[in-house]
Amino acid sequence: MSTMRSHGCQTYGQYLIWISRAGQTGINEFVECMTTNTTEFFRESAHFDILRDLTGGRGPQQFNQDRLADKSEIRIWCAAASSGQEPYTILMSLLAELEIIRQFPEIKFLATDIDRSMLDHASRGIYSQSEVRSLPSEFQRKWFRPLASPSDENPRFLANAALRDSITFAPLNLFDTPYPFKHLFDVIFCRNVLIYFDRPTSQKVVAEMARHLRPGGFLFLGHSEAGVIRPDNMKAVANAVYRKDS
């Protein structure tokens, strides 16, 4: 409402007219108001242990047959990436595992969101003290550097260029099917966004994602979404993690 009023609009109809006149700026602002961008590093952290198991094949038997580390390249898509904490967590977890087992496939990493202001934040890779609080200290030390002196009251932390440059950040509205990808992904993360869609839309998005997964590839949903959405032709292999049939 405050956004509407700031443009002198008293009704939704007036606001709609303002958006259509303001063009892309109006649309961006509307999207920012309508979306919830809550996220954090290592959110629903069990998923990153599973990702490491998938990568190095060190987890349950079912993951050994298909070690990501054995591929010449790993393709990952993080949909609804918000301000970047999720894709950076995925990448740091993968790299940690690959360093331990000393195998280094090329990583092709796409992170998308509908909200361009979040993508800007993500690609800048700058986070506040409270945002980095959920990062284990070894990851913070290794991958982030403080931008100001230790006495600064509001220190901010910059993600290492090696992390930032490894991820392509791009806008994508999950409603816009079919998605324009040429290659299949090994892993797709789509967490904590489908809960905001109605069920037919969520099912459609998941079906479209399945189409862009290679056989044997993995889809990660949010923990609260797993009970509601049932991906077809995929087997649940862990909480909210699905493997596409080979």
Ligand X SMILES: C[S@@+](CC[C@H](N)C(=O)[O-])C[C@H]1O[C@@H](n2cnc3c(N)ncnc32)[C@H](O)[C@@H]1O
> What whole-number distance in Å separates Cα of residue 34 and Cα of residue 48?
29
Q: Which is nearer to ligand X, 35 or 103 (CB)?
A: 35
Q: Which residue has 């202001």 as its token pair? A: 117
Q: In angstroms, give the least distance from the CB of 168 to ligand X.
A: 16
Q: In angstroms, give the least distance from the CB of 80 to ligand X.
A: 3
Q: Which is nearer to ligand X, 118 or 219 (CB)?
A: 118
Q: Which residue has 């993690």 as its token pair? A: 241
H-type helices in 37-147, by residue range? Answer: 46-56, 61-64, 85-101, 116-124, 129-132, 137-143
Q: In angstroms, give the least distance from the CB of 245 to ligand X.
A: 25
Of 206, 179, 204, 173, whose CA–CA distance to 190 is shortest?
Answer: 206
Q: Is 91 exposed, middle or buried (0-12, 13-18, 19+ CB in 10 A)?
A: buried
Positions touching ligand X (CB under 6 A) are: 35-39, 43, 80, 82, 86, 113-115, 118, 173-175, 191-193, 222
Q: In angstroms, give the least distance from the CB of 48 to ligand X.
A: 12
Structure tokens belonging to residue 30: 């509307």
Q: Which is nearer to ligand X, 22 or 31 (CB)?
A: 31
Q: Which is nearer to ligand X, 96 or 114 (CB)?
A: 114
